[in-house]
Amino acid sequence: MKNYNIAIIGCTGAVWVEMIKCLENLKIPISQLKLWASPRSTGKIVETFMWNIEIKEVNEDFFENIDYALFSAGWEKSKKYIPIAVDKWVVCIDNSSYFRYDENIPLVVPQINWDTIWNSKIIANPNCTTAIAAVVLNPIYKKYGIKKIIMSTYQATSWGWAKAMAELEGNTQKYFSWEKATIEQFVDNIAFNVIPHIDKFQENWYTKEEMKVVWETQKIFWDNNIDISCTCVRIPTFRAHSESIVLETEKNVDIEDIKNILENAPWVDLVDDIENNKYPMPLYASGKNNVEVGRIRKNLVFGDKWIELFISWDQLLRGAALNAVEILEVCINNLKK
Adjacent-strand bridge partners of 207: 201
Say if residue 72 is exposed, middle or buried (CB neighbours under 10 Å; 0-12, 13-18, 19+).
Answer: buried
Inter-residue contact 6 to 34 (CB < 8 Å): yes
Say if residue 121 is exposed, middle or buried (CB neighbours under 10 Å; 0-12, 13-18, 19+).
Answer: middle
- Rounded-to-10 torsion of CA 253, 323, 328, 79: 120
Nearest Cα residue to 129 out of 109, 147, 145: 109
The H or E element spanning position 70 is strand 68-71
How far apart, in whole angstroms, are the C-alpha atoms of residue 139 and residue 142?
5
Active-site hit among 11, 128, 232, 331: 128
Q: Is 22 a catalytic residue?
A: no
Inter-residue contact 5 to 31 (CB < 8 Å): yes
Active-site hit among 92, 232, 241, 331: 241
Q: Is 128 a catalytic residue?
A: yes
Handedness of CA 35, 168, 313, 288 (dihedral sign): positive
Which residues are the active-site residues? 128, 241
